[in-house]
Structure 1
Amino acid sequence: MSLSQLFTEIEQTEWVNIPSGWLQGRTIYGGLVAGILMHKALITIADSAKYLLSTSITFVGPVQESKARLTAEILRQGKSVTTIEVRLWQDEAVQSILIASFGTQRASSIQVHQECIAPDYPAPEHLVKPLQHEAMPQCYRQFDVSWAEGQYPCTASETPDFGGWCRFNPEQHENREFSVADLMILMDIWPPGVLPMFKTLAPASSLTWHVTYVHPVQHQLQDWFKYKVFTDYAADGYSTESAHLWDAENRLIAISRQTVTVFS
């Protein structure tokens, strides 16, 4: 099932089939879960005048490769901002929750532009992509990911963090107009910033994820994006990190913050 087919199913019914090919360990890749929830939010809001401002996701429990039910509730619809909650259910239990705010532009005299500058990475065709390995999660086959700085995961690095390029794998996904649901799916493919410090393979997974959108998504599905992560703090089995995503023209698209559970 392609992403377009999945999104069409979300538009037509409350129950959806989680497609194959997206496993991340024993659960479904969190980015796909976030994209499913976001598409449900988009079709429920159904207002092209309101664009996504920010969203928060809590991964309550593991999502399995089976049927899931999606429910959506508009919590408040104001003149400028609409806030919505979407839940994904399996086995009669909530497994993931999304809360998102959509809004229209408003007149304001306040203008601040202090966003992080995009790193000057070599073009993706000049970088070596990590080789597919049996230990890599299945979901990585859906994307092209190229490291431009920092160490690979599980290499016993003394420092965390990395950056590089990412896009949907053209061999797996036909080109089409890019949506914010697609962006949620793509942005989460990067592992937690502390993973280069792991000495051996061990789990790490997102607990909460907050994304703020800066510039609107006006791209194609096969376009490249730059990503860079910074770990603020890690101890006692949890880490807190922030990350930025730019397009190929160095426009800041989104800012991410995550709390990650660490099993190493």
Structure 2
Amino acid sequence: MTIASLLEPVTGQPGPAHLVHAQDWMQGRTLYGGASALVAYTMAARAFPGLPPLRAGQVAFVAPVGETIELSAEIVRQGRNVTQVRSEIRCEGKVALSAFWLFAQGREPNAVRPADPPESWPGPPENNAVVTHDFAPSFVANNFELRFGQAKGTEHGATVRRWARLTEQHDLDPVSKLVLMGDVMPPGAMRAMQRTGPISSINWSFNVLDPESRSREGWYLAENASQHADAGYSSERLRMWDADGRQVLDGIQCVAVFG
């Protein structure tokens, strides 16, 4: 199943939609977070064609997203350079995902500061071993190729970092690919858990640093790092770099840690 097939029912028109090919993107009883965020982003982009590039997104994962959904999108404010759009996914009449998107034209820069390169650069993806999918959710095995992004035998703390790319040939635009892949890693809190238990993303806020990113052979280095974990929740920082070490996405996330 292609990602285009998943997005085909998202026409930009408000109302019900049936994600016929959602099964390959399910994570337990809900659509994988990156895929559900992409559905909401695609709804916003198709509802209002001609928007400037996406610069930021705020996504609330409220409830499980299944195959049968209802979509909506509205422009909250449209200025000379910036357009802010809200889109929602409803399931069984209740909000399952609510997203706020910031689209903005580029301007002549007054501040220029390149993002820092990743610490402990693992080398290009082809120099790292393939990650097996023995313990990964089925949506990962169905749709992604992973390679290690951290040196073996070293202390990783509460950080998970992997090279990742989509296995299918696709025609996703650069921003859609970043939205789809930005949440692919498990939370870094996984490395700090005392007992095995479920983990669930509650929200995801991110900035797109390069809306035209086209990384070599589709590889991106994705990292989730727990900044603080306690009381059943973890505050995570999510980042992505292209194959040349340029950061393309920067975000934060709240994760519920059960068990």
Instruction: Give the aligned length.
Output: 253
Shift of 1:67: 1.3
What per-residue deviation string (whole Å, max 9, x for no partner) do you get for residues 160-210 of structure 1? Answer: 1132211112xxx22435332222111111000111223553111111100
Matching residue within 3, 23, 28 for 1:25: 28
Q: Which residue of 2 aligns with 1:154?
A: none
Instruction: Give the gaps of 5 or more residues in structure 1.
Output: 152-156
Q: Which residue of 2 aligns with 1:58?
A: 60
**Residue identity matched to 1:25:** G
Q: Evaluate the alpha carbon distance shift between residue 81 and residue 139 of structure 1 in structure 2; reply closer, same or farther with a 3 A threshold.
A: same
State how far apart, in whole Å, the 2-side matches of 1:108 and 1:136 are: 42
Quick check: 1:34 aligned with 2:37? yes
State how far apart, in whole Å, the 1-side matches of 2:86 and 2:150 are: 37
Is the Cα contact below 8 Å between 1:178 and 1:220 reproduced in 2?
Answer: no
What per-residue deviation string (whole Å, max 9, x for no partner) do you get for residues 97-119 of structure 1? Answer: 0101101123343x141522134
- Higher mean alpha-carbon deviation, 184-193 vs 210-219, is at 210-219
- Higher mean alpha-carbon deviation, 157-166 vs 238-247, is at 157-166
What per-residue deviation string (whole Å, max 9, x for no partner) do you get for residues 23-70 of structure 1? Answer: 21222211110010111111123125x111111000011112x21111
Q: Evaluate the alpha carbon distance shift between residue 205 and residue 217 of structure 1 in structure 2; reply closer, same or farther with a 3 A threshold.
A: farther
State how far apart, in whole Å, the 2-side matches of 1:117 and 1:207 are: 28
Q: Which residue of 2 aligns with 1:11?
A: 11
State how far apart, in whole Å, the 2-side matches of 1:236 and 1:71 are: 35
SS at match of 1:84: strand
SS at match of 2:180: helix
State how far apart, in whole Å, the 2-side matches of 1:199 and 1:166 are: 27
Shift of 1:124: 2.2
Matching residue within 162, 178, 186 for 2:160: 162
TM-score normalised to structure 1 length: 0.87
Is the Cα contact below 8 Å between 2:235 and 2:252 reproduced in 1?
Answer: yes
Is the Cα contact below 8 Å between 1:177 and 1:219 reproduced in 2?
Answer: no
State how far apart, in whole Å, the 2-side matches of 1:196 and 1:233 are: 12
TM-score normalised to structure 2 length: 0.88
Instruction: Give the gaps of 5 or more residues in structure 2.
Output: none
Q: State the identity as a percent.
A: 24
State how far apart, in whole Å, the 2-side matches of 1:138 and 1:150 are: 25
Task: Name the Cα RMSD after superposition.
Answer: 2.4
**Residue identity matched to 2:58:** S
SS at match of 1:11: coil
Is the Cα contact below 8 Å between 1:150 and 1:161 reproduced in 2?
Answer: no
**Residue identity matched to 2:91:** Q
Quick check: 1:96 aligned with 2:97? yes
